[in-house]
């Protein structure tokens, strides 16, 4: 099976996103890049270098529905004569903006985010959402865990690997233990567990960090020899990355526990302590809040903290 990485530019600080061409019948793209003219031109150009035209693409598979990964899905599908789009049912970014629904507002205000700060973040993400075209329910097919994507030259097994988002998926070629894992595993940076409503009960938060650790362990069980991430270089030392991630999470847990005052703390207050230079900076503020929420929720589920609701705001306390 021939996997061709294509680095596509994005307007985000993370830099290029990696799109993967599976150069087997049916020709498949895993992720597509953001909806910008530069990304589209680069995708067409790099596909051309690989001897492929957009019209040849038969299948578009999304690791997750963040704008830098899914933005061009609709345009590619239309220009590829109705190629099939596949995405996990727990993803929402291809349907509406990241903070567009009332559940997002409720969850973040409950975390101590001031209403004015939430509205600033929502406004920012309304602009970012323009980097993807919304899909209707009948525009895509649902990816199912443990099912196989069949090609003439082999198969890729679908692995539901929630954490970065609830519906994040990875794909493994078991014949040679090769992974394509989106933003679940990255060479240079630790993926951010984004705050999301729980797909089963949207009044609750999805337990992103706990689920992420389970996903990491699941990928490790395949003993991958080569892992292709959504950003940066391929990974040939999965175990080293795995242990680095676990150490970083343990260290952050200790840091968080050391910052909790006797009177308790909200997730927004913790984000300001952990990331004082990011708490007022556009997209970085949302990522900082997501990180704080994920770690506090994980510590509470591990029995390290208690959680109480005080005047509609969640306060975490040490036992």
Domain of residue 174, CATH code: 3.60.15.10
Euclidean distance between the first and final Cα of the chain, in Å?
53
Secondary structure letter of residue 145 according to DSSP: T
**More confidently predicted of 95 and 255:** 255
Question: Is 156 inside any structural domain?
Answer: yes
How many CB atoms within 10 Å of residue 190? Answer: 15
The phi and psi torsions of 315 (rounded to 5 degrees) equal: -120, 125
Range of the domain at 187: 3-259
pLDDT at 31: 97
In a domain, residue 275? The reply is no
Residue 230 belongs to a domain: yes
Can you give the pLDDT at residue 133?
82
Q: Token pair of 24, please?
A: 């087997």
Query: Stretch 243-267: mean pLDDT, rounded?
Result: 95
Contacts 24+ apart (CB under 8 A), 246-252: 246/213, 246/216, 248/190, 249/190, 249/209, 249/213, 249/295, 252/291, 252/295
Provide the 10 A C-beta neighbour count for residue 118: 21
Closest-CA residue to 273 (of 209, 212, 316): 316
Question: Is residue 98 scored above 80 in pLDDT?
Answer: no
Asked if pLDDT for residue 124 goes beyond 90, the answer is: no
**pLDDT digit string, tens, across residues 2-26:** 999 999 999 988 899 999 999 999 9
Contact (CB, 8 A) for 233 and 187: yes
- Of 265, 288, 296, 71, whose CA–CA distance to 194 is shortest? 288
Closest of 31, 2, 35, 27 to residue 19, by C-alpha: 31
Q: Are 319 and 304 in contact (CB under 8 A)?
A: yes
The secondary element (H helix, E strand) that includes residue 136 is none
- Residue 238 burial (10 A CB sphere; 0-12, 13-18, 19+): buried
Residue 128 above 90 pLDDT? no
The answer as to whether 281 is a domain residue is no
Question: Does 319 fall in a domain?
Answer: no
Q: What is the pLDDT of residue 210?
A: 95
pLDDT band per the 50, 70, 90 thresholds, residue 138: confident
How many domains is the chain partitioned into structurally? 1
241 located within any domain: yes
- Could you give the dihedral angle defined by the CA atoms of residues 245, 241, 148 and 50, in that order, rounded to the nearest 10 degrees? 130
- 166, part of any domain: yes
Res. 264: pLDDT tops 90: yes
Own/partner pairs for 245-248, CB < 8 Å, 24+ apart?
A: 245/185, 245/190, 245/216, 246/213, 246/216, 248/190
**Token pair in block for residue 203:** 């009044």
Give 170's strand partners.
Answer: 159
User: Among 74-83, 172-181, 202-211, which stretch is predicted with the lowest mean pLDDT?
Assistant: 74-83
What mean pLDDT value characterizes the chain? 93
pLDDT at 127: 82
The rounded distance, in Å, linking the Cα atoms of 123 and 118 is 9
Residue 277 lies in a domain: no
State the average pLDDT over residues 145-157.
94
pLDDT bracket for residue 212 (50, 70, 90): very high
Candidates 157, 158, 231; CA nearest to 6 is 231
């Amino acid at each position: 099976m021939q996997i061709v990485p294509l680095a596509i530019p994005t307007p985000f600080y993370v830099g290029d996103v990696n799109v993967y061409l599976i150069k087997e019948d049916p020709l498949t793209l895993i992720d597509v890049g953001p909806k910008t003219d530069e990304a589209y031109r680069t995708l067409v150009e790099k596909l051309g270098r690989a001897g492929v035209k957009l019209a040849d693409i038969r299948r578009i598979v999304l690791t997750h529905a963040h704008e830098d990964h899914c933005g061009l899905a609709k345009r590619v599908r239309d220009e590829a004569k109705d190629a099939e789009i596949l995405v996990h049912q727990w993803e929402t970014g291809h349907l509406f903006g990241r903070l567009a629904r009332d559940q997002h507002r409720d969850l973040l205000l409950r975390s101590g985010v001031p209403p004015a700060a939430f509205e600033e973040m929502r406004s920012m993400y309304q602009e970012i959402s323009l980097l993807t075209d919304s899909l209707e329910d009948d525009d895509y097919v649902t990816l199912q865990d443990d099912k196989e994507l069949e090609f003439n030259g082999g198969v890729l097994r679908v692995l539901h690997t929630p954490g970065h988002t609830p519906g994040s998926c990875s794909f493994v070629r078991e014949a040679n233990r090769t992974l394509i894992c989106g933003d679940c595993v990255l060479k240079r940076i630790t993926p951010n567990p984004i705050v999301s409503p729980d797909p089963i009960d949207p009044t609750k938060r999805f337990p992103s960090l706990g689920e992420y650790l389970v996903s990491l362990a699941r990928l490790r069980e395949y003993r991958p020899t080569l892992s292709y991430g959504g950003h940066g270089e391929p990974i040939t030392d999965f175990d080293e990355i795995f242990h680095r991630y676990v150490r970083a999470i343990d260290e952050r847990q200790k840091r968080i526990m050391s910052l909790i005052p006797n009177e308790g703390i909200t997730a927004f207050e913790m984000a300001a302590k952990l990331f004082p230079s990011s708490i007022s900076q556009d997209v970085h503020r949302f990522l900082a809040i997501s990180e704080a929420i994920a770690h506090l929720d994980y510590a509470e589920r591990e029995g390290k903290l208690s959680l109480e609701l005080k005047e509609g705001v969640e306060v975490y306390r040490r036992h």
